[in-house]
Amino acid sequence: MYRLTSKLVIYRNIGKDSILFRLSDIFSRFDRGQYVKEELITEIYEQIHRLLEISTRYGFDKNLWHNYLAFQLAMSENPFTLVSEKVGANEGTVNAFAKADFRIFKELFDFDFSPIEEALDIHCFDVILHYRAVVKSEQIFNKSVSEKVQCLSSQIEAAGNEEELYRIITDFYRSYGVGKFGLNKAFRVSENEEFGILSPITTTGDMTLDDLIGYETQKQKLIENTEAFVHGREANNVLLFGDAGTGKSTSIKAILNQYYAQGLRMIEVYKHEFQYLSQIISEIKNRNYRFIIFMDDLSFEEFEIEYKYLKAVIEGGLETKPENVLIYATSNRRHLVRETWSDRSDMSQDELHRSDTMQEKLSLVARFGVSIGFYRPSQKEYFEIVTELAKKYPQIGFSQEELLLKANQWELSHGGISGRTAQQFINHLAGGLYD
């Protein structure tokens, strides 16, 4: 194995502490006979343990060694892979190194572990080559990465030569991208040793815009702006404002699902994390994806100054905001910043022209080129939402009259009319809780 990994050029950045290179070192000492049996077995088991941890995290199955190698190909960010995610297969001298590396990976796929197993009287490699994973909930593993990596693994297994390997892997980069941004939909701020400032959100909802009953005009405005953005045309930052429980956040999450395959990614940022906005934008500005920075339930109290970070990012300084980044925010407040009566006075004890401060705060909303209002539905619209949602659950056996009567009783004791109230009511009935 060491003979193979030592010849890698493009993918040498996988790292000396990776499972691949640690196993390579183990096999090098085994081949030279420079080892103590029990110590070498312990080292092997440590790497098998790491392999099982990765496989559990990503839901790998069958041949875990193949899945791991495919995972390394999918996650390795280097000049070749970053260019390939933009243009796919391309002409250039670097292809000679790429194809040589792909030949090495194919040999690693077909590596014979039996000599070391027989010599050390172990069977762990045979187990990981014929693995049957325990069926797991999608909440436990990253399904988005799992499906793509296992598909790539199967294609590499079936590849007959280096030209076919080159096509398979560069097509993968062109279709899905590379690294965490290529294989994941959404991200959050998290100082993580493995992922840096942005860590993947491994389980995202599968909601669609059709799941949001009504609000057709609002959804259409959101679609039009997002499509322009995804297709490289001019687009605006968007503020979704209005009553609680009307589907503002759901609409943005559904937009991610609708346009993910076209290169849309989403980064969730909370108010207390605005200080990292410049750092986040620096990391994503040159990638071949469209990023929406999602700010949910955005509002500012009188004493809070975080809005200044947001204004600075939207307006830009000497370095303009990248064309592949937009900000989508939701808020229950039309102007984001709470106004007080003292804001409306030109004179106060602590500031000569307090209304100037108020105008600075309120000017933030003007930085969003598109503002979309989501308002509490009428009772008729509420009943329409309940009726449509109930169609998804045939086990709810009430007549239309009974359903609407119970829906009316529910909203009177659960916060009033809204789409969220309707969904909670249907969840209650779908769970068999009819009282």
Taking residues 202-209, report their average pLDDT. Answer: 81
Average pLDDT over the chain reads: 85
Q: 233-274, pLDDT tens digit by residue?
A: 999 999 998 888 888 899 999 999 999 988 899 999 988 888
**At 62, phi and psi to the nearest 5?**
70, -105
Q: What percentage of the chain carries pLDDT values higher than 90?
A: 41
Residue the block writes with tokens 């010599």: 119
Taking residues 206-229, report their average pLDDT. Answer: 91
Q: Answer yes or no: are the C-beta atoms of 4 and 108 closer than 8 Å.
A: yes
Q: Answer yes or no: are the C-beta atoms of 103 and 171 closer than 8 Å.
A: no
CA 393 to chain CA centroid, nearest Å: 29
CA distances from 259 to 123, 128, 397, 417, 423 (A): 45, 36, 36, 31, 25
Q: What percentage of the chain carries pLDDT values higher than 70?
A: 87
Amino acid at the residue 418: S
Counted residue by residue, the chain has a size of 435
Q: 376-409, pLDDT tens digit by residue?
A: 888 888 888 888 888 888 888 788 888 888 888 8
Q: 282-328, pLDDT tens digit by residue?
A: 889 888 899 999 998 887 766 666 767 777 777 665 556 788 999 99
Of the candidates 257, 325, 315, the residue with the CA atom closest to the CA atom of residue 290? 325
Predicted confidence at residue 189, as pLDDT, reads: 92
Residue 152 reports pLDDT greater than 70: yes
Residue 435 reports pLDDT greater than 90: no
DSSP letter string, 203-241: ------GGGS-S-HHHHHHHHHHHHHHHTTS----EEEE
Cβ count within 10 A of residue 179 = 18
Q: 34-56, pLDDT tens digit by residue?
A: 889 999 999 999 999 999 999 98
Taking residues 402-427, report their average pLDDT. Answer: 86
Residues 6+ apart with CB under 8 A from 83: 90
Q: 56-79, pLDDT tens digit by residue?
A: 888 898 999 999 999 999 999 998
- When pLDDT is cut at 50, 70 and 90, the band that residue 140 belongs to is very low
Whole-model pTM? 0.80
Domain ranges of the chain: 2-183, 209-374, 379-430
Structure-block tokens of residue 37: 């049996």
**At 192, phi and psi to the nearest 5?**
-120, 135
CATH number for the domain formed by residue range(s) 209-374: 3.40.50.300
Residue the block writes with tokens 């804001």: 343
Amino acid at the residue 362: L
DSSP structural state of residue 247: S
Residues 6+ apart with CB under 8 A from 373: 218, 241, 242, 334
Predicted confidence at residue 415, as pLDDT, reads: 77
Predicted confidence at residue 352, as pLDDT, reads: 46
